[in-house]
Every structure is written in C-alpha cells, then in structure tokens.
Amino acid sequence: MKEVKKLHDQLRRAFLAEAWHGPAVMEALDGITADKAAARPLPNAHSIWELTLHIAAWKRIVADRLEGRYEQPSDEEDWPSVADTGEVAWEKALQLLKDEHQRLEDVVSKMDDALLNQAIPDWEFTRYYLLQGVIQHDLYHAGQIAMLKKALA
C-alpha cells in the first residue's frame, strides 16, 4: 500500500471510527448535546464545543498548507469562541467539523507519495510530518472529549 493511502486511512480512522486506541473524534462526539458541548465540567479546561471548533480549524489550516497556502492562525482562528450555544449552532459546528475533515481527505486523496517528503512552502516541515501531526491532533483531542464526556455523565 502506498504511503499516502496509509496516511489517508489513519486520518479517516482517527476521525470517524476503527482507531485501535479507543473512540475516534466523531465517536467521542456521539450523543453530545449543545448543553453538554458548552458545559465546563473541568475548571480551566476547554469545552467540548471549543475543542470541536479547534479541531475543525486545524483541519482547514492543514488542508490549506498542503495546498501551498501557509498562514499562521490568529488566536481566534486557533480557538474560535462560542457565542450561540443553541442546538442549531451546535449542529452547525458539527457540520463544519465534518466539512473541514472531508476537504482535508479530498486534498490528501489527490496527493502522491513523491510529495510527502517535500517541505511545505514557507514552513520547515514536510507534508508527511504535517499529516502525521493532524492525525495525532485528532487523537489527542478525541481523548480530551472522551474525558469531558465522562465528567458530564
């Protein structure tokens, strides 16, 4: 199997399902209501909603970088604030996350193994490093979401 296909598979597993370590991002978010997403069961920790928007932001940033656009995110882009905590807004946040993930998968599916070891323009890291990082990012935050979900039970 080609390396890009392996990375694409790991990206999908970390986000959707079948990650060997435990729940993927979407599995961790399953059953979360707007009230639970906005709650802060642990002092000084991000909410599930904030984590969801943060994951979506970095999927967009990584897709942009893979396509050759490097821009350092602002604090608000990195950790978007949550103003509306209603169910419709939560559904929009989840849809944004799914859309950004799909866009990233689309970008990765068009890549060739030859690109993996090339550095991202205006950045010192390779595409391989960046893809490994976004997979690790999903898994890290899926674990945080799982812990917050348990704290809310």
- Please report where in the chains the tokens 């904030």 appear, as a residue: 50
**Domains of the chain by residue range:** 3-152
Per-residue pLDDT of the chain in tens (153 residues, 90 and over written 9): 599 999 999 999 999 998 888 899 999 999 999 999 999 999 899 999 999 999 999 999 999 999 988 888 999 999 999 999 999 999 999 999 999 999 999 999 999 999 898 888 777 889 999 999 999 999 999 999 999 999 998
Task: Report d(CA 48, CA 33) in Å as an integer.
Answer: 10
| Contact assessment for residue 100 and residue 134, using Cβ atoms and an 8 Å cutoff | no
Task: Report d(CA 152, CA 142) in Å as an integer.
Answer: 15
Please tell me the total number of residues recorded for the chain in this structure.
153
- For the chain, the first-to-last Cα distance in angstroms comes to 41
Q: Is the Cα dihedral 66, 118, 140, 17 positive or negative?
A: positive
Question: Looking at the domain that runs over 3-152, which CATH code has it been given?
Answer: 1.20.120.450
| Contact assessment for residue 53 and residue 106, using Cβ atoms and an 8 Å cutoff | no
